[in-house]
Structure 1
């Protein structure tokens, strides 16, 4: 309808009646070019508003409507808003907010909308219903247009390969193999879920230790690695995996992501394996630029139906197993033809597929890293939701020396051991500190990167040799006192000895017979005297760090220590070393942050303390009462905190 024609309709006169409502409605039926138009005027009864002119003028015809709203200068502005949004919502369901001034006004509305308004306020509800039906029709038409567009894309997706189910079973769920056992007198009845063989094993002293619930083992029939599960004790086992496949799609390709679960209940002899697809990414090229269109399977807006939808960022593409049997064919003729993606996927098992594709376009030199079999190095860099940080490597280098800043002998060691960036830093620093090329043997490097933090090990290289450090840490370790905790305590112990001005060159001091006992003893000896000078800087650091690193979930909360007294109190109450000068001085200088972990239900009682290295944005250690290691619950919480906070801060630092 032409707005100029609507403006020519004669305005309603001000109502003379006074009603106990906010708005009085006046109505008339007009005809414009043979079209029947219901014209409504809403006059305000509020003394603070203009009562001479209608606050709202509403025009309704066919299955359409439009509104004019009164402005402060007396003019009207067009609006497509419905009356429900113009008049406060609650008024529609409580006492009437608007009513017609005369029966004739009501009859006009009844005639146009084909209804019967028997109660006060019915006319307003009828107007609302009419406008809502029109809005819903428009919304449905919009949704159908979106669905049609998505369906046209989905119809072109090729079917899955015939061997895909078999690959899922033997690939992503390769680890899901068990032997269920039940002891019967002097024999053990067993059933392997992989080869489906049922057999009996005689009970011996060896089987008593070996065949236990959740122990690892090997099936004697099919020679597959399995996990033992006791019948009756293990009534429900759920294994899950994320996996993906790349397929041709028009001029590009599509990556399809799946989530699957394999469930063993009482029917462990016949486990169920189900999977569903929930992300599709379509890669196409527009000239030289790469276009990626993402779709997700989920709720379609608020319609109550599940289907393929445009990307809503509900799901992040996971690190996943990749179906590789068609990979070389898919990449042939593309920019990734020589990327060595096939070799990389086979070597690391799981990868961020999209991240690999994107990073390869930025750094084609990744091909050579994979050819050198530096799988862990590449995998570490790509294993992030954020933009990878390729520190430790110069892509513009023309040779090994320029690319990795190491000599050929060190590169060959890095290649042999498939070291990541942490291992690369270790061997480079060891060479600098010990002033010789082969500073660490292959076996020493393997042990270090597998058991301890490399920065702690490098710190101890100031005082001892690699062989003696490893030997001493192994001697002090136990099931409850892991090598990483031993080495961290040893570093703390050396700092304590320096505070007390002990002779560290004395082997009796350097290698205490009982490290934990001596460490805890010196920790208690450390007093908080003389630490007040740091308090102002620590409190200032708290204000900055609290914004960056504080985090909570339903059970636990973590935040920076708010002052020297809290740091010292934390150490005293938990009987660990955080209250000593070294930690307080580090926080005051901005080198480290002392984070306190508390239970949400008891936020004032010390629970665990974490040391955060602010130079590397990494966790140095996390200890509880009497230097105990993290429980599984605390470890999971710290992992969530690291993913949420540390990765973001690392990006800012870079």
Structure 2
């Protein structure tokens, strides 16, 4: 549309205004020739005297349309109205004029003469409108048809470009070495697994071998007759044990015929990287399945085995293409249910059917194919060898393109750091543009060797970053010990105002009763829990106005008791009020204690667990451990029997809060458990202990009971 030429055409002009006050806008039309092509001009004026310029000028031709706003002198591609049914307002309406009915629109917006309507009808040929009084619908539907046509053409062009690019990728992708992949998978991951299906009948056993497919009968128990000396004999077949096929001599695992449904399989996923075009790389995600089948038939003696087989198959699921200067493109292998054909597409499926690329082993050929590509120096092989677990190379390559420093970090042995970057957790990177590791990670230069020795441990890195941010110079041992405590910058800054860092570490070690650097998870969790309790105690002392330079306040005899005392003192009035409130609202918790104790109480040599004695105890548990168990939500669930709150304690200190457990009231299932500050102290060991506790509940055996705790 020639907009400049249209702007030079004079306005049609409003000949006269309408006296009716209900009419707000008047439309005038005209046919003009612009660039040897007919154009329909619609100018809308306000119904007022001396209107020399229209509010808007709408121009249409056979191929396109445009709207000119006279007030701003701008063009746009907005239609005459957003929607004729659900949003009936015009582009010339002001915000206070929105929300009119169809009848009000007819009265407020009219054409100057019937000739204007005739021009609109004639120009918008082929557009059907049942009520010609709604003249604007001719223009709206004419514009809509052009918009739909233009949108479809644009979509078709985009689809064609996508298909051409997809076909180009397929044509430049090497042929998949299916035979080599299947052989490698069978050797390295399935370990040439075969099965020997058996069914015993007296002294004999019928054996079906999945490798050779043969079925034979052999004696597994020695006989006393002369003929038994010449019969085929085998060891007694037992489920899960290894045996030898009497026919082909293959070793396989015994499986009882009665426990096999006729078909079972195992699947694994593999990555194969191949060079793509000149310097690109394509990662191919393949699923390999090994299936074993047992053929059954009805015989004289019931169900009998007549053959057995095994099949190795594979299918390529996705391809990830990497090219210099281009974004990652992943193509997916799909199946059309209507014509029964497989095809490749450049977009994923939707919803629950979404194809996910997960961690999987990488075939050795990938590293050879990387030579001469953009990932030649990506250090992928070294990273895989260091992590000793399956990874997703698509994520690794994508992060490597974004952060080439990954190569240096991997070769230095900072595997913990690289893991975080591959998982797209860039919070550990202080300066992503820096080339030196110390500047990239925001630590002191002399700390790099220590971090390398720890294989890029994230806890140690956090402490080193904190050291530089606080402009401190700590010793190597202090950094390691401070990492074990798990303290944050704000906690350290608060405490070191009144004592040195070394004194803080010494007191934490003293109160915890555990030494630093033992590599014992229980000791580490004890140190971490003590550190949190001690710094929390000092923080509450400070907020209450105590002078922390006083060593008596810094060194309480019993840290936990002093901490609990500070909790009560900090919010004494609030706590007293809360305790009275919950005691009145939830008296049933205390009334049911004896009944629930018989069911849930359990103890061993180290720990005991019991239900809460009252609503007040639950509230105080939440206050002391600084978590949310004392809220009404938990108390209401406890009162209704939906779930119960259990107290897990150290047997040496049975009244000192340690871990709070919420257990389902209907079945032995732990909903959640937390220690102080919503953390899980000694998580691995405590989770194992709780799992054992659940087994005791499920067995419904009499639990160990002692006197009331």
Shift of 1:117: 3.2
Shift of 1:324: 1.2
What does residue 170 of structure 1 align with?
186
What does residue 65 of structure 1 align with?
65
Q: Secondary structure at the match of 2:123?
A: helix
For 1:295 and 1:21, the matched residues in 2 are separated by 58
For 2:333 and 2:53, the matched residues in 1 are separated by 49
Alignment of structure 1 residues 110-189 onto 2, 5 Å: 110-115=121-126, 117=128, 119-120=130-131, 123=138, 124-149=140-165, 151-161=167-177, 163-167=179-183, 169-170=185-186, 174=190, 177=193, 179=195, 181=197, 183=199, 185-186=201-202, 188-189=205-206
For 1:157 and 1:259, the matched residues in 2 are separated by 15
Q: Does structure 2 retain, via aligned residues, the 8 Å contact 1:58–1:65?
A: yes
Going from structure 1 to structure 2, the CA distance change for 1:55 and 1:273 (only over 3 Å counts) comes to: farther
What does residue 674 of structure 2 align with?
611
Bigger shift: 141-150 or 260-269? 260-269
Q: Does structure 2 retain, via aligned residues, the 8 Å contact 1:527–1:580?
A: no
For 2:23 and 2:286, the matched residues in 1 are separated by 57
What does residue 321 of structure 1 align with?
361
| 1:7-54 Cα distance to aligned partner (Å, 9 max, x none) | 325346488699999998654332112111122356799x9xxx9986
Q: Secondary structure at the match of 1:39?
A: strand
What does residue 406 of structure 2 align with?
362
Going from structure 1 to structure 2, the CA distance change for 1:260 and 1:298 (only over 3 Å counts) comes to: closer
For 2:404 and 2:172, the matched residues in 1 are separated by 27
Q: Secondary structure at the match of 2:261?
A: coil
TM-score by length of 1: 0.54
Going from structure 1 to structure 2, the CA distance change for 1:518 and 1:341 (only over 3 Å counts) comes to: closer
What does residue 464 of structure 1 align with?
none
Residue among 238, 244, 252 paired with 1:210: 238
Going from structure 1 to structure 2, the CA distance change for 1:58 and 1:231 (only over 3 Å counts) comes to: farther
Q: Please tell me whether residue 404 in structure 1 is matched to residue 436 in structure 2.
A: no
Bigger shift: 97-106 or 29-38? 97-106
What does residue 39 of structure 1 align with?
41
For 2:198 and 2:30, the matched residues in 1 are separated by 86
Shift of 1:534: 4.0
For 1:596 and 1:158, the matched residues in 2 are separated by 56
For 1:583 and 1:37, the matched residues in 2 are separated by 91
TM-score by length of 2: 0.51
Alignment of structure 1 residues 465-480 onto 2, 5 Å: none
What does residue 474 of structure 1 align with?
none
Q: Please tell me whether residue 578 in structure 1 is matched to residue 647 in structure 2.
A: yes
Shift of 1:280: 0.8
Q: Does structure 2 retain, via aligned residues, the 8 Å contact 1:181–1:228?
A: yes
For 2:607 and 2:188, the matched residues in 1 are separated by 49
Going from structure 1 to structure 2, the CA distance change for 1:125 and 1:630 (only over 3 Å counts) comes to: farther
What does residue 610 of structure 2 align with?
524
Q: Does structure 1 retain, via aligned residues, the 8 Å contact 2:621–2:630?
A: no
Alignment of structure 1 residues 210-359 onto 2, 5 Å: 210-211=238-239, 215=240, 220=245, 228=255, 230=257, 234=261, 237=264, 239-260=266-287, 262=289, 269=309, 271=311, 273-284=313-324, 293-297=328-332, 307-309=345-347, 317-331=357-371, 336=376, 339=379, 341=381, 344=384, 348=388, 350-356=390-396, 358=400
Q: Secondary structure at the match of 1:323?
A: coil
Residue among 521, 530, 533 paired with 1:455: 521
The structure having more radius of gyration, on CA atoms, is 2
Shift of 1:527: 4.6
Long gaps (5+) in structure 1: 300-304, 407-423, 426-431, 441-453, 462-494, 500-514, 543-559, 633-654
Alignment of structure 1 residues 19-58 onto 2, 5 Å: 27-41=29-43, 57-58=57-58
For 2:38 and 2:404, the matched residues in 1 are separated by 64
Long gaps (5+) in structure 2: 90-100, 223-233, 296-308, 335-342, 430-440, 456-482, 485-511, 528-559, 565-600, 699-709
| 1:595-630 Cα distance to aligned partner (Å, 9 max, x none) | 75769xx9x998533337866899554587993169
Shift of 1:367: 4.6
Going from structure 1 to structure 2, the CA distance change for 1:351 and 1:136 (only over 3 Å counts) comes to: same
Shift of 1:68: 3.1
Q: Does structure 1 retain, via aligned residues, the 8 Å contact 2:38–2:61?
A: yes
Shift of 1:293: 2.5
Q: Secondary structure at the match of 2:361?
A: strand
Q: Secondary structure at the match of 1:295?
A: strand
For 2:632 and 2:40, the matched residues in 1 are separated by 71
Q: Does structure 1 retain, via aligned residues, the 8 Å contact 2:318–2:331?
A: yes
Q: Does structure 2 retain, via aligned residues, the 8 Å contact 1:351–1:383?
A: no
Going from structure 1 to structure 2, the CA distance change for 1:564 and 1:12 (only over 3 Å counts) comes to: closer
Shift of 1:586: 7.0
Shift of 1:251: 3.9
Q: Does structure 2 retain, via aligned residues, the 8 Å contact 1:68–1:78?
A: yes
For 1:75 and 1:133, the matched residues in 2 are separated by 29
Q: Does structure 2 retain, via aligned residues, the 8 Å contact 1:241–1:261?
A: yes
For 2:24 and 2:221, the matched residues in 1 are separated by 90
Q: How many residues align?
A: 493
Shift of 1:171: 6.3
Shift of 1:59: 1.8
For 1:228 and 1:384, the matched residues in 2 are separated by 41
Q: Does structure 2 retain, via aligned residues, the 8 Å contact 1:324–1:342?
A: no
Shift of 1:260: 2.4
What does residue 78 of structure 2 align with?
81
Q: Secondary structure at the match of 2:610?
A: helix
Q: Secondary structure at the match of 1:456?
A: helix
Shift of 1:103: 5.8
Q: Does structure 2 retain, via aligned residues, the 8 Å contact 1:150–1:309?
A: no
C-alpha root-mean-square deviation of aligned residues, in Å?
6.4
Shift of 1:133: 1.3
Q: Does structure 2 retain, via aligned residues, the 8 Å contact 1:608–1:625?
A: no
